[in-house]
């Protein structure tokens, strides 16, 4: 198989298992291509120079599977590089929670034995697309996790006039608004009180960030519905964060959020169950009294 490898380039401890990964892939006779930035990090910072078939310098690459080694942030960056290529992505988790990158370093050998035998499954994850009517967005407008509208300064909240399929929903007076896919429901959305959503539920969650009114609550809608947002701010600008990539936007812009016309394919082990992962990561059922 032909693999494209991306990794965390900022924290050495998150890439210490890279040498084991390359050894396992070579044992299976894999053709290995590595993101040049990650390769440079491995050689200069970790003093490890793996033998590879080539380096990936831009988004023009092909592979049977993409491997990202790091945390969920590394997975999101890899997903952005993959885009519409329909290349499945496997995440090796050397971060913390790891809902996307959920294969532990200790499971690598067994996992690639299964992949070599074709014993794995691929899950399609929906993507959100952002459009603005007044100005061209500088960054990638596609989000696997969420699109967040946030106040730019620390002095006052913003007003977000929200319509769904042309019908007025409400005006959120808050620090911001998080529009999340089911995949992103365990990320930023969860931290601001949003619901946990099963990955294949075909829904979108809309969750306010620190709303002025206690009556305002998260709402879950169908993912084939269109969301339009008009933002008012005392500073006349606000922030848009697309999977954590933020940029400033001027007041008066009408933002449209809809489901994109493609999905990201996530590689999962056949024995991995979402509820098992959820229970483990969230520590449901753990009795803190027994933890010394």
d(CA 151, CA 233): 8
Angle of CA points 95, 100, 104, to nearest 5°: 50
Tokens of 121: 């499954």
Evaluate the CA torsion angle 136, 140, 141, 147 in order and state its sign.
negative
Q: Around Cβ 50, how many Cβ atoms within 10 Å?
A: 17
Beta bridge partners of 168: 163
Read out DSSP for 50-116? ---SEEE-SS----SEEEEEE-HHHHHHHHHHHGGG---EEEEE-SSS-SSS-B-GGGHHHHHHHHH
Per DSSP, 194 falls in state P
Which residues lie across from 209 on neighbouring strands?
176
Q: Which residues contact 7 (CB under 8 A, 6 or more apart)?
A: 14, 15, 18, 35, 38, 41, 42, 68, 69, 70, 74
Nearest to 152 by CA among 98, 231, 79, 97: 231
Active site (annotated) includes residue 72: yes
Question: Could you say which of 35, 45, 59, 72 is catalytic?
Answer: 72
Q: How many CB atoms lie within 10 A of CB 105?
A: 15
| Dist. CA 163–CA 104, nearest whole Å | 42
- Residue with the two structure tokens 């936007």: 249
Instruction: Name the residues annotated as catalytic.
Output: 72
């Amino acid at each position: 198989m032909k693999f494209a490898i991306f990794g965390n380039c900022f924290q050495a401890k998150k890439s210490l298992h890279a040498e084991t990964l390359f050894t396992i892939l070579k044992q299976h006779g894999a053709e290995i291509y590595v993101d040049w930035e990650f390769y440079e990090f491995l050689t200069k910072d970790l003093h490890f120079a793996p033998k590879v078939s080539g380096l990936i310098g831009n988004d023009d690459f092909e592979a049977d599977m993409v491997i990202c080694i790091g945390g969920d942030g590394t997975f999101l960056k890899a997903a952005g590089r993959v885009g519409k290529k329909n290349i499945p992505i496997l995440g090796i988790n050397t971060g913390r929670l790891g809902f996307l990158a959920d294969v532990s370093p200790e499971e690598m050998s067994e996992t690639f034995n299964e992949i070599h035998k074709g014993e794995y499954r691929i899950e399609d994850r929906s993507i959100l697309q952002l459009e603005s009517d007044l100005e061209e967005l500088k960054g990638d407008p596609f989000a696997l996790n969420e699109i967040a509208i946030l106040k730019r300064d620390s002095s006052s909240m913003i007003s977000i006039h929200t319509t769904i399929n042309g019908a007025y929903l409400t005006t959120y007076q808050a620090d911001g608004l998080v529009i999340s896919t089911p995949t992103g429901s365990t990320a930023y959305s969860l931290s601001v009180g949003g619901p946990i959503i099963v990955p294949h539920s075909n829904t979108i969650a809309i969750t306010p960030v620190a709303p002025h009114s206690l009556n305002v609550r998260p709402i879950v809608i169908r993912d084939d519905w269109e969301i339009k947002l008009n933002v008012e701010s005392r500073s006349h600008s606000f922030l848009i964060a697309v999977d954590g990539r933020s940029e400033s936007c001027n007041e008066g812009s009408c933002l449209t959020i809809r489901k994109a016309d493609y999905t990201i394919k996530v590689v999962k082990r056949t024995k991995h169950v979402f509820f098992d992962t959820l229970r483990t990561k969230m520590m449901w059922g753990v009795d803190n009294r027994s933890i010394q």
